[in-house]
Structure 1
Amino acid sequence: MFSSLPNDAALSSVTEGHSGLITVMKKGAVHVSTSTVSPTIARHLAGLHQSSGQGYVASPVLGNPDLAKARKVFFMVAGPADHVASAVPVIQNLGQHIFLMGDDPGHANLMKLAANVMIATTLESMGETLALLRKGGISAELGFDVLTNSLFDSKVHKAYGGKILHERYRPAGMVVPLALKDMRLALTEAEHATTPMPFASLVRDRMVAMMARGWETLDWSALGLLASRDAGLPSDPGLSDLF
């Protein structure tokens, strides 16, 4: 049984209760959750499934909708070895690589949250940098070419940075509220682990600012739009309804 839900509450609602998965699944069945949720809820649900003679495997996904359609996403998989072994043959047909994260399902979700922090902070950095170049008289296209064809040629810089360059914030691959949820979950884990994450905290606040502007339907790469607006730069006329 596979599930893909937006947050802890939704996953808990579908899994627990009189009509939840734990009730309807047979003994020996395995629940594979591809949701981006907290490590805490992953461990909680894993324990409930285990008490019911079932399995729980956390398998969050790295990649955007286009990669998902092409089966090019990456999976971080964790759970008891026997349950992971039964789930992997199915999971491997859905993406290009599986990273085995051990027997603690919370580790798969922590890894996903950490990855999303890196993406979000990269988006903030690229947005600020491209705004600086535009204000300094260098075209965003030229700056983007120099950056992404030299030292900053990663998939994140090119794919998400391309959205900032061309101001393609709709339709969203990851809407701002979901990105904000992931930053909040990551920072909660950081607080529990006494791990300061000042840049992540800043980007979380930038996302709150986006929500305050009514940008909840935009892609999280609209961090670049926020940077350009803060710099007093003009935006694509197609985005005029946002201002």
Structure 2
Amino acid sequence: MTDASPTIGWIGAGRMGAQLVQRLLAAGHDVAVYNRTRAKAEPLAEAGASLVDRPVDLAGRDVVFVMVSASKDLEDVMLGDGGLLTDPERAPKAIGDASTVSMEASAKIRAAAEGRGVGFVATPVSGNPKVIAAGKLTVAASGPRDAFELIRPLLQTWGRGVTYVGEGEAARIVKIAHNVFLGVVIQNLIEITLLAEKAGVRRSDFLAFLNDSVMGSPYSRYKSPALVNLDFTPTFTPVLLLKDLDLGLAAARELGVVMPVTATTREVVATEVNAGNTEQDFASMIVRAALHSGIDLQPEGVEVDDGLAPES
């Protein structure tokens, strides 16, 4: 392997993973991909990736990235039947795991990887497919510093920022805290937007004011179109948000941190999931909140800037 041309394996070609593979391919890298449903990875083959049938078929690659949905999925693709780390003869030099999983699951896989002489780096990301397309994805990384430096140039193709936050599972808690904040902020953003609407202010006008104020943020801006026009094409579902809130509360219990606002938000999100809201974007929580507030929620049909124009 050379720093300029590592061979790359990729496990998990969902909405996020597929776009990150596309960025690696666009940067000229040799990428082989495993996805549980092979047909979903076939567009990547058309873009220049090769496809494999099992995670273990990537064991001869220099670096393998993983992006799966949950802790159990990570264990399966690493240690299960045909898992990446089950080949007794071959293993990658480094693994970068971009999944959002528990610290316990990550530590288990880290121990297994290090037992094979493989540098394991947690590489969770902040963003969604539209953020990736805009070149604004950011990465937190933790693990052995030498393994991080090995994969840093590859991570830098994903977006605009890579932050090394320490050894071990430090990046996991950074990502969990990030997603807890995401959930708490969307819930409060929904509440105050509906408060303004019930007082007679259009959602588009309130959010335009908020986004131009010191309280506005890239996050409030890019969720504004969904809240105004009620387009809930999924970027992140209530199911995934609930998983991350549970991870945050579990970490809080273990570390002795009091998180009452997170606990309340968790119950709101659980209500959405239990009511069957599992496939839409989590901004769709505004619909139930409006119903409970006596608001007849209608799309406004207003063009709203989401702040995600691609960076030059």
TM-score (norm 2): 0.72
Which one has a larger percent helix, Structure 1 or Structure 2? Answer: 1
Where 2:96 maps in the other structure, the secondary structure is strand
Equivalent residue number for residue 48 of structure 1? 112
Note the C-alpha offset of 1:28: 5.5
Matches within 5 A, 1:65-144: 65-104=129-168, 106-144=169-207
Equivalent residue number for residue 27 of structure 2? none
CA distance in 2, matches of 1:165, 1:40: 39
Post-superposition Cα deviations, 1:16-60, rounded to whole Å, max 9, x if no partner, equal: 134211123834621111101111111111111011111211000
CA contact (8 A) 2:84 2:91 kept: no
CA distance in 1, matches of 2:99, 2:92: 21
Unaligned runs of 5+ in 1: 238-243
Where 2:160 maps in the other structure, the secondary structure is strand
CA distance in 1, matches of 2:78, 2:218: 34
Matches within 5 A, 1:1-243: 1-24=64-87, 26-27=90-91, 29-104=93-168, 106-169=169-232, 171-236=233-298
CA distance in 2, matches of 1:68, 1:232: 37
CA distance in 2, matches of 1:71, 1:19: 34
CA RMSD in angstroms, aligned pairs only: 1.5
CA distance in 2, matches of 1:221, 1:229: 14
CA distance in 2, matches of 1:83, 1:66: 29
CA distance in 2, matches of 1:70, 1:151: 23
Give aligned pairs, total.
Answer: 235
Amino acid at match of 2:206: G
CA contact (8 A) 2:139 2:163 kept: yes
| Identity within the alignment, % | 24
Amino acid at match of 1:33: D
Amino acid at match of 1:36: T
Where 2:234 maps in the other structure, the secondary structure is coil
Amino acid at match of 1:209: T
Amino acid at match of 1:4: M
CA distance in 1, matches of 2:219, 2:284: 14
* Structure 1 residues 130 and 70: CA distance shift in structure 2, 3 A: closer
Amino acid at match of 1:181: K
CA distance in 2, matches of 1:26, 1:101: 29
Post-superposition Cα deviations, 1:126-180, rounded to whole Å, max 9, x if no partner, equal: 10001111111122122112211112221111112332222221x1000111111
CA contact (8 A) 2:85 2:91 kept: no
Equivalent residue number for residue 241 of structure 1? none
CA contact (8 A) 1:14 1:20 kept: yes
CA distance in 2, matches of 1:164, 1:26: 49
TM-score (norm 1): 0.92
Where 2:152 maps in the other structure, the secondary structure is helix
CA distance in 2, matches of 1:139, 1:28: 54
Equivalent residue number for residue 307 of structure 2? none
Note the C-alpha offset of 1:235: 2.6
Note the C-alpha offset of 1:224: 2.3
CA distance in 2, matches of 1:61, 1:137: 38
Post-superposition Cα deviations, 1:175-221, rounded to whole Å, max 9, x if no partner, equal: 11111101111110011011111111111111111112211111112
CA contact (8 A) 1:75 1:99 kept: yes
